[in-house]
Structure 1
Amino acid sequence: MNDFPSANPTQDADLIRHIEERALFARLETVRLISIAKTGHYASGFSCAEILATLYYGVMRLRQGEPDWPARDRFLFGKGHAAATLYPLLADWGFFDAAELDDYTRLGSAFGDHPDMTKIPGIDFSSGSLGHALSTGAGVAMGTRMQGNSANVFVLLGDGELHEGQIWEAALGAAHHDVSNLIAIVDRNDHSLDGHIGGVTGIEPLADKWTAFGWDVHEVDGHDVPALLTLLRGIASDTARTRPVAVIAKTVKGKGISYMESEFGWHLGWLAEQDELNAIEELRNNA
């Protein structure tokens, strides 16, 4: 079981509300942090806010204030450019003082646009160049298993990241070695920096591809917290599984801000003062 960092909810209805509130918190903090940096990845973070909140508050085995607890579940962020959405959750877990985020991206700050595991407690993998997280995650999962550690290893991938050949090499290797404690989640928001995924390089039929590579595959609405919670908890608690698991989470890039949902150019951007206030209001109204 998790040690929940805030309300410590024990009933499913309370837990779902708590996760949804933490997803909103992560989005609002993303806006605040990007306001400090004057540029950042709003849309990429917004598409995976519910996934991150569900993992950190409802699924992953963690201990409050102990980022290096050996028995913890591991999390690797393939799409690390959305780290501004993850950092506030790590602070909420007491892995570092939340006030450190007030200097986000400033000279001397540990917190950059991409996460650095050598500087930030709670970061299990330094990501930047896309495509490496699944390979590393497979290695971490195999290593924990060899040590007799029952930890699950979660890897969150962008769907544009699946254009990288190393992803599929890792998928082959993980299935060959029956790395059953490895759980990959694809943030299937259908867009990348270069535009619509299908227009850049098509990846469908995606579920069939993962199945053909030897993985167990599930599909879910990546913004539906009850569905995410049920599915991910079921996978994480299934000690009888024998293969790695891929979860295709269908999401909307820029979820919560109407114009970001319809304009892929918000992969990277910055909001002027009034636009920021309007965005915060819209996020709160859509929660």
Structure 2
Amino acid sequence: MGRAPGGPAERSAALGLLSAEELAALSRTRLSLRRARAWAPGGHLSRRAGASLEFADHRPYQPGDDLRLIDWAVYARHRKLVTKVFSREVEAPLYLLLDCSASMGLGGKLLFAKRLAAALLFLAFRGGDRFGVYPFAAELLGSGKPRRGRASLVRAFQELLDLSPLGRTDLGQALAQWAEHAGEPGFCLVLSDFLAPGAQEGLRALRHGRHAVAAVQILASEDLNPPLLGEVRLVDAEEGRARPAVVGPAARRAYQENLRRWNQGLASTCEELGVALFLFLAEGSPVAAALTLARRWRP
């Protein structure tokens, strides 16, 4: 068996969610939590610690702009005064908003989400970045500022281990509640099955907070193809209501068509709001999902 990176406390906590081999695989990947922000010219040229300036564009010169930022080469060619505009890469924290409502308890979705969150936290820790976990159901269930370091990682792993599915989902209320109290903009990933209303309102609230947002949809095989046939008793996982039903091929096809339309609506919402959308199956590898996010998500 491979040796998990990090100290004994980190390993003992992580092994409740991730194997030593999975931690070793994650240690070979870097999660880049840096965002380019426009830097307004006309101030000063000093660089902030941990930030780098890169040329982004030109704009017409305005009185008060720093003369050192005038592009004299452009002036020599076109007799126009233009000012250089730069972007600055700054560190941004990782925010993980994790749906732990009752529906996430079906088909191992919550376990997958917890393990995926652990993998992403480990990547952020390895990069020296700040991170925070914020569980929610009908409302936000956790708060606090994002932090970095080994002790924070161990606490976050323990919080994940303690989570269990409970109650109904209210994506709109929970995400808006978090956005209202969130601090600086960062990388915000929402881990949920997104099978309840409110995604549009919740994701819009996150985007209004100037966060880079990814909706990480986690579905189980039984969400896609419920193993139901004949006379059954359907129970709402979150409300507890039950009713008898007869499920035949036509009903199964109708369900799958409704799910397709629901997910199509989610995709349209994400596209409209500038939110990245990823879909993972709970039967898959959370580590592979984390590596996919690290490599493919480029806000």
Q: Higher strand proportion, which one?
A: 2
TM range (shorter): 0.3 to 0.5
Q: Higher helix proportion, which one?
A: 1
Task: Compare relative contact order (CA 8 Å, sep 6+) and give the higher one, 1 or 2.
Answer: 1
TM-score between both structures, scaled by the size of structure 1: 0.37
Structure number with larger C-alpha Rg: 2
